[in-house]
Amino acid sequence: LLASLAYPLESKDVERAGCDIMNVFFLFDVYTDAATPHEAQQLATVVMNALRYPKKSRPLGECVIGEIARQFIAKFDLYTAAVVQEAHDRAENHIRGIDDYFLVRRQTIGAMPSFVLLHFELDLPDEVFEDPVIQRLENFSAEMISLCNDICSYNVEQARRNDGHNIITIVMHHMQLDLREAMRWAGDYHSGLEKSFLADVEAVPSFGEELDVKVRRYVDGLGNWVRANQCWHFETTKYFGANGLEIQKSRKVVLLPR
């Protein structure tokens, strides 16, 4: 469901790859959600070894696929390392500051590796991804995806006493806000990110006529991921059970007991 929402313009092959990657993220999340730092590191090592050393070597002269694999592996490595850091924070009952949290959360949400599939068929050069405007757009998108997840997952996480890696808990802790005020803060912060994202969309530099069309498609994909993620949270049963679509309309959630 999430892959179909996030990659609506991609080919069947990319869509299938997206489904597979979402399954990897969900499975890794399930296994590490309550893992100790040592257990999380062991799992991260297993996953990265599987990615780095596949049974078949890529043929010489391979261009796009090899580059996509390189970028995905590098970003997936950052993701697994960040999840290990999250496990350390959980073990130590450490609540990060807001800015420090977002540095880690951009990775633990798993958005950055997922963005790689958006340019799977575009063959964009490194200069595009090294551009500061493109990098900001990626960060804004990842943070909006994170905020939506934190807002929607907070209820089940606090009920399980596993809400330390969540912006709602962090804001309540550091800014001395109650739950309603923290939710409002997160919504306002999201609105600010939306404005920054849209402003940077208009500031994307030209990379030449042929590349500009491809870059625009990639940037549109970053924006679509935000919306796809929002829809998925209410259509899946992971956070709201069978009441997701109703809650999407009413915006009312009954707080679960801890």
Q: Tell me what pLDDT residue 234 has.
A: 95
Would you place residue 33 in the very low, low, confident or very high pLDDT band (cuts 50, 70, 90)? Answer: confident
Q: Judge whether residue 220 has pLDDT over 90.
A: yes
Compare 141 and 13 and report the one with higher pLDDT: 141
pLDDT at 242: 93
pLDDT tens per residue, range 64-74: 555 666 778 88
Give the per-residue pLDDT at 69. 67
DSSP letters for the chain? -HHHHH-TTS-HHHHHHHHHHHHHHHHHHHHHTT--HHHHHHHHHHHHHHHHS-SSPPPTT--HHHHHHHHHHHHHHHHHHHHHHHHHHHHTT----HHHHHHHHHHHT-HHHHHHGGGTTT---HHHHHSHHHHHHHHHHHHHHHHHHHHHHHHHHHHTT--SSSHHHHHHHHH---HHHHHHHHHHHHHHHHHHHHHHHTTPPP--HHHHHHHHHHHHHHHHHHHHHHHHHHHSSTTTGGGHHHHHHH---PPPP-
Residue 130: which pLDDT band, with cuts at 50, 70 and 90? very high
Q: What is the pLDDT of residue 66?
A: 59
What pLDDT score does 54 carry?
55
- Could you read off the pLDDT of 42-90 as tens digits, one per residue? 888 877 776 776 554 445 555 455 566 677 888 888 999 999 999 999 9
pLDDT: is 73 or 250 the higher one? 250
pLDDT at 39 over 70: yes
What is the reported pLDDT for 58? 46
Task: Tell me what the mean pLDDT of segment 187-192 comes to.
Answer: 97
